[in-house]
Amino acid sequence: MEALLSISNVSKSFGDLVALDQINLEIRSGEVVGLVGSNGAGKTTLLRLMAGVYLPTSGKVSLPNGQPVDTMRQSLGVVPESTGLYSRLTAWENIRYHSRMHGISDKDAWARTAKFAEHLDMLDSLGRHTKGFSRGMRQKTALLRALAHGPSILLLDEPTAGLDITSARTVRHLVEQLKNEGGTIVYSTHQLSEAQQVCDRIVIVHNGEIRADGSPEALLESTDSTTLEEAYVALTKDTARPRTEEDGKEGRFTGWWRSFFTPKPPQITMNEVETDE
């Protein structure tokens, strides 16, 4: 299968924190790739590099013609964990605005939106303002927004996080439909069972490194495990780091502001502490 997105020797650092270290990965046409790892493993950083939101500290993220991914964002559909919808706009207005930025006509955007909205049970809600939407409705709107311009690759960051059982199931069914239609999807999740349901390949990311990349069956065989949970534990025995990319050093201005305007806690001696006797 053709590689639609190539990640070659990519590292990404935030100050002293190495979020990703020497990542090599290919996303091939027509497959669903699951990025699986704990919080702080580097999944979101990797997705943002794929989307061109971040530039790598070293290495290269490129499309088939060798062009840097940040110059060809119209090829990508992105659903971040935070949907970023404009609450004063209706669902369709959010989608239409996004599609126009990609140079897609309202007619074509509506045709694609209506098709997928029917599967998500959203067709009757497209004229409603998103301000009053539930988490599930907002996530579905973000999915429709990402699909309206006909992207070559769909990047999903924890698409079912915080959703109720029915909404999560609906999202997974849409991913399966896209897969059956030949779509290419990168699906970030920390749920192994979810990845097993919808993904052809599972890429285990741990402490900024790729620990495994293969089909569920291949991961079981390589670790001599009977379940994916056992395989995951075998591949990630070292303690997961608690830090994230936002844990970089405090900026000079931030430190100055804090020193002047953040009150210091009062000093309390042991004699002042009340005890129950």
- What's the CA gap between 225 and 221, in Å, rounded? 7
What pLDDT, on the 0 to 100 scale, is given for residue 8? 93
Show the tokens assigned to 97: 């605005």
Is residue 270 pLDDT above 80, yes or no? no
Q: E strands within 15-168?
A: 17-28, 32-36, 58-62, 76-79, 153-157
Tell me the per-residue pLDDT of 117-145, one tens digit each, with 9 for 90 and over.
Answer: 998 889 999 999 999 898 889 999 999 99
Q: How confident is the model at residue 277 (pLDDT cuts 50, 70, 90)?
A: very low
What pLDDT, on the 0 to 100 scale, is given for residue 266? 52
Higher pLDDT, 249 or 93: 93
What pLDDT, on the 0 to 100 scale, is given for residue 108? 94
Is residue 17 pLDDT above 70, yes or no? yes
Tell me the per-residue pLDDT of 181-228, one tens digit each, with 9 for 90 and over.
Answer: 888 999 998 888 888 889 999 999 999 999 999 999 999 999 999 999
Tell me the per-residue pLDDT of 19-37, one tens digit each, with 9 for 90 and over.
Answer: 999 999 999 989 999 999 9
Higher pLDDT, 167 or 254: 167
Q: What is the mean pLDDT of residues 63-74?
A: 73
Q: How confident is the model at residue 242 (pLDDT cuts 50, 70, 90)?
A: low
- Considering the chain, what is the average pLDDT of its residues? 84
Residue identified by tokens 């395989």 is 231
What pLDDT, on the 0 to 100 scale, is given for residue 273? 44
Is residue 249 pLDDT above 60, yes or no? no
Higher pLDDT, 108 or 71: 108
Q: Are 242 and 230 in contact (CB under 8 A)?
A: no
User: What are the C-alpha distances in Å from 206 to residues 38, 213, 227, 234, 239?
Assistant: 7, 12, 18, 12, 9
Domains of the chain: 3-272 (3.40.50.300)
Q: Which residues contact 151 (CB under 8 A, 6 or more apart)?
A: 74, 75, 76, 77
